[in-house]
């Protein structure tokens, strides 16, 4: 079943306006297989659970990725068992650290000296040695990134200038083991060549610290940050260019493995937010289409002040005994059902035609969509969740 078939089936049932997240798990499997097969052997592909922790998505990925990256105790509980896990968060609760230790995660990120002290102390209480990665806030970053988390003052990681000091401290401890470095530094970067330069810089720095301190590290985690071009989806991140660049690093790896924590780039295209137009009207010479749903389901366009990629599925039937509102060949703003002018998913985009009863499909809604949204505002019903091509 495809999205269009779901829409037609739903319309025939006449059980209320359409509003759903539709996840194409077949598309997800195909995409991840392409990503995985293009990587060199020294790369390990992890999924960043924060992008979308839907259990059916996690279950689909469990047999395909090399592991999961989690940022909370709650995410840790959602990850399918027997998968490698990396745990990282800027503000860790003591209970979360203990849960990560007890779960036997592959490594815990150290984001501060306080983090290091707590992990050492808790590991000592449990009489274990906990593997750690030092998360580094680099002195410079990839300027093309949509959100910069490194190279600027942020709450993330250890200042690069303090890395030697925290390494000295860690090496004096008996219950932590430095396994490598974590460099997640950006979000939604669209420049493959710049991302490749970032990877090479991270590898160089990790090897420098390894050699200087005599470390027996095995992991260089470059995080994620590979983006989706919501503004022009036809011009996106050039994955083939990036993968080719990774292959060229093989001679420089020197026994290290490179971890990629992909989130948005892995799942965004596998999800769509599908919603029905309830009304079309004009105010101050501008057209508005009001939908069942909005930013309480899909907050990303409002948060980023952008028009989300969309397409229209026309529905020809109109059974109401009154005229059907609509508009033709003009710009339209697509707004939600909330009592706030900020509930806008598309602003001033040209359409050939849009009518009440038509369905709008918002593509690239498989990441940072439902779970970052303010669901309870106005207490509207939640959307349905539909899973296409699911293997039972």
Output the pLDDT for position 185. 80
Mean pLDDT, residues 23-44? 98
Distance between CA atoms of residues 37 and 288, nearest Å: 45
> Is the predicted pLDDT of residue 391 greater than 80, yes or no?
no
Within 13 A of 307's CA, how many CA atoms are on the CB side? 15
Specify the DSSP class assigned to residue 268: G
pLDDT confidence bin for 386, thresholds 50/70/90: very high
Distance between CA atoms of residues 198 and 225, nearest Å: 11
Q: Minimal CA–CA distance to 157: which of 130, 182, 132?
A: 182
Q: Write the pLDDT tens digit of every residue in 314-360.
A: 999 898 999 999 999 999 999 999 999 999 999 999 999 999 999 99
Output the pLDDT for position 280. 98
Q: What is the Cα gyration radius of the chain?
A: 23
Ordered by where they begin, the domains of the chain are: 3-22+269-388 (2.40.37.10), 84-262 (3.20.20.10)
> Is the predicted pLDDT of residue 143 greater than 60, yes or no?
no
Active-site residue flag, 339: yes
Distance between CA atoms of residues 388 and 144, nearest Å: 35
Q: Write the pLDDT tens digit of every residue in 46-76.
A: 999 999 999 999 999 999 999 999 999 999 9
Residues 209 and 163 sit within 8 Å (Cβ to Cβ) = yes
Mean pLDDT computed over every residue of the chain: 94
Residues 180 and 133 sit within 8 Å (Cβ to Cβ) = yes
Specify the DSSP class assigned to residue 363: -
pTM across the whole model = 0.94
pLDDT confidence bin for 254, thresholds 50/70/90: very high
Q: In which element (H, E) is residue 7 found?
A: helix 3-13
Output the pLDDT for position 239. 97
Q: In which element (H, E) is residue 23 found?
A: strand 19-24
Output the pLDDT for position 142. 57
Q: How many CB atoms lie within 10 A of CB 328?
A: 10
Within 13 A of 35's CA, how many CA atoms are on the CB side? 26
Output the pLDDT for position 131. 98
């Amino acid at each position: 079943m495809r999205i269009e078939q779901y829409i037609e089936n739903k319309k025939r049932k006449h059980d209320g306006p359409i509003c759903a997240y539709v996840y194409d798990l077949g598309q997800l499997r195909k995409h991840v297989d392409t990503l995985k097969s293009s990587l060199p052997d020294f790369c390990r592909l992890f999924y960043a659970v924060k992008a979308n922790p839907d259990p059916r998505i996690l279950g689909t990925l469990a047999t395909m990725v090399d592991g999961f990256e989690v940022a909370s105790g709650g995410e840790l509980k959602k990850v399918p068992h027997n998968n490698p896990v990396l745990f990282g968060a800027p503000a860790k609760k003591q209970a979360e650290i203990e849960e990560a230790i007890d779960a036997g995660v592959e490594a815990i990120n150290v984001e501060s000296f306080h983090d290091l002290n707590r992990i050492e102390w808790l590991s000592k209480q449990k009489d274990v040695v906990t593997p750690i990665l030092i998360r580094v806030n680099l002195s410079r970053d990839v300027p093309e990134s949509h959100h910069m988390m490194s190279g600027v003052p942020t709450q993330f990681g250890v200042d690069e200038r303090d890395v030697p000091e925290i390494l000295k401290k860690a090496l004096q401890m008996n219950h932590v083991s430095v396994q490598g470095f974590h460099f997640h530094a950006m979000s939604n970067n669209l420049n493959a060549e710049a991302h490749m330069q970032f990877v090479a810089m991270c590898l160089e720095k990790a090897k420098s610290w390894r050699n200087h301190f005599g470390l027996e590290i095995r992991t260089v985690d470059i995080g994620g940050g590979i983006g989706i071009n919501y503004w022009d989806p036809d011009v996106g991140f050039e994955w083939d260019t990036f993968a080719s660049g990774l292959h060229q690093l093989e001679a420089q790896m020197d026994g290290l493995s490179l971890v990629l924590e992909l989130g948005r780039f892995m799942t965004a295209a596998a999800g769509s937010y599908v919603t029905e137009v309830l009304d079309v009207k004009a105010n101050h010479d501008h057209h508005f289409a009001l939908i069942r749903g909005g930013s309480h389901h899909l907050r990303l366009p409002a948060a980023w002040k952008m028009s989300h990629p969309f397409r229209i599925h026309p529905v020809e039937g109109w059974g109401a005994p009154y005229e059907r509102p609509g508009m033709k060949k003009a710009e339209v703003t697509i707004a939600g059902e909330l009592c706030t002018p900020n509930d806008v998913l598309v602003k001033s985009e040209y359409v050939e035609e849009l009518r009440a009863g038509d369905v709008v499909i918002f593509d690239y809604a498989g990441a940072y969509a439902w779970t970052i949204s303010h669901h309870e505002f106005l207490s509207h019903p939640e959307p349905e969740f539909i899973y296409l091509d699911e293997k039972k």
